[in-house]
Amino acid sequence: MKYKLGLIGCGTVGQGLLEILDKKGDRLKKDFGFEAKVVAITDKLKGTLMVPAGIDNKKVLALLAQGKTLGDYRPGKKPIEMDPLDVITACGADIIAELTYTNIKTGEPATSYIKKALQAGKHVVTSNKGPAALHFRELQDLARKKKVYFRFEGTVMSGTPVFTLFENGFAGNTVREIKGILNGTTNFILSKMEQDNMEYGDALALAQKLGYAEADPTADVEGFDALAKVVILSNVILGGNIKPSDIKPEGISSITRPMVLNAKQEGCRYKLIAQTKRDGAEIIASVAPQKLLLSDPLAGIMGTQNALTFDLDLLGKVTIQGPGAGKLETGDSILQDMLAIHRDLR
């Protein structure tokens, strides 16, 4: 089946996706009968490109690598000036990949883009945590009404399968609890504090230097990023209906080197743990540092890796560990979402 794809946002994830489609296109066609032709790309900083016959992904990647814009794709032609909301409806795409930046407070402008696309009967795939954390029910209902898909594998643990794993591997199981390390930045900092005996501030500075933490690290270190993810898991997997503002996260900024070293001597390790479970009609979710026994599967997760333990009534505990961020890793989440749609439709 051939799909026409529109990219709203073409930063790291968008370029990762273009790279994957360029590299894997032939194989995806041969192995799964899946073909995705990019017909539009729009990005606040890089401009807008619409090519109904299909964009040359390699050419776009080369332009962007040289610091050029999408307007340079067709030299001499006037750059397209169009609101992304209009690109969504004008470009003729079947699938919209919403890849703009995350705003966890408002979910905008991503939520508006997603609604517009679903309203227009287009499937939406996204790795943006804002819309899924704030408006999952509404967007899911709209998608169902319009008989299209709304998928967001990359919102939790990038391309490491979480929702796909749950849907396909745990069907029929009751999830008793979900517990995980869902933020790579804080896990890196805690790992460095223990393994290299660093102070919190020095470990944070190193994380910033390596590009794992942002200049303003609040969203990571105070637990807001993990919070958004645990809200998504609560609503999607446990059938809850909670909002990020329902939970007050506790971050790692209060964890000191002596605390980390004392824990080590006790055979324990601090981890920023996001967890959620059902208690009757209620969801009990939290994000807070916990001192885990080293025998806990989550205690061994070091560096920027993420992991999630599902406690299931038939299988007991199953843990998946993998990357939580990254260009190709998150780009792959968008591909996996499109392939999941393709498997259902073909």
Catalytic residue, chosen from 229, 264, 271, 327, is 229
Binding of residue 140 to its own copies (CB under 8 A): no
Residue 284 as a binder of its own copies (CB under 8 A): the answer is: no
Q: Which is nearer to its own copies, 140 or 164 (CB)?
A: 164
CB-nearer residue toward its own copies: 274 or 299:
299
Instruction: Tell me the closest approach of the beta carbon of residue 206 to its own copies, in angstroms.
Output: 18
The size of the interface with its own copies (CB under 8 A), counted in residues, is 43
- Listing DSSP states for 45-71 in one string gives TTEEEE-TT---HHHHHHHHHTT--GG
Window contacting its own copies (CB under 8 A); options: 42-50, 169-177, 210-218, 278-286 = 169-177
Task: Choose the binding region for its own copies from 107-115, 175-183, 282-290, 319-327 (rule: CB under 8 A).
Answer: 319-327
- State yes or no: residue 165 binds its own copies (CB under 8 A): yes
Distances (CA, A) of 328 to 37, 45, 252, 323, 335: 19, 21, 28, 10, 10
**Who contacts 221 (Cβ-Cβ below 8 Å, separation ≥6)?**
185, 186, 189, 204, 213, 251, 252, 253
For residue 292, which of 272, 274, 273, 270 has the smallest C-alpha distance? 270
Q: Select 57 or 336, whichever has its Cβ closest to its own copies.
A: 336
DSSP assignment letter at 258: H
Instruction: Please select the residue that binds its own copies; options are 204, 274, 325, 335, rule is CB under 8 A.
Output: 335
Residue 318's CB is within 10 A of a number of other CB atoms, namely: 15
Q: Please report whether residue 171 would count as binding its own copies according to CB under 8 A.
A: yes
Interface segment toward its own copies; rule CB under 8 A; list 65-73, 162-170, 180-188, 196-204 = 162-170
Least gap, CB of 156 to its own copies (angstroms) = 13
Tokens of 320: 């998946």
Backbone angles phi, psi at 274, to 5 degrees: -100, 130
Minimum distance, C-beta of residue 249 to its own copies, in the bound complex (Å): 26
Q: Does 290 bind its own copies (CB under 8 A)?
A: no
As given in the structure block, the two tokens for residue 125 are 């795939």
| Residue 297 lies near its own copies (rule: CB under 8 A) | yes
Q: Candidates 64-72, 78-86, 250-258, 322-330 — which segment interacts with its own copies by CB under 8 A?
A: 322-330
By CB under 8 A, residue 61 contacts its own copies: no
Local structure of residue 215 (DSSP, 8 states):
S
| Residue type (1 letter), 119 | Q
Q: How many helices (H) and strands (E) does the chain have?
A: 12, 11
E-only strand ranges, 93-200: 95-98, 123-126, 150-151, 175-181
Is 150 strand, coil or helix?
strand
| Residue 87 burial class via C-beta count within 10 angstroms: exposed 0-12, middle 13-18, buried 19 and up | buried
32 near its own copies, judged by CB under 8 A: yes
Instruction: Select the span of 23-31, 116-124, 134-142, 222-230 touching its own copies (CB under 8 A).
Output: 23-31
Q: Does 184 bind its own copies (CB under 8 A)?
A: no
**Minimum distance of its own copies from residue 113's CB (angstroms):** 25
229 is catalytic: yes
Q: Say which amino acid occupies 150.
A: F
Contacting residues toward its own copies, per CB under 8 A: 20, 24, 27-28, 31-32, 159-161, 164-165, 167-173, 295, 297, 299-300, 302, 314-323, 326, 328-329, 331-332, 335-336, 339-340, 343
Q: What residues are labeled active site?
A: 229
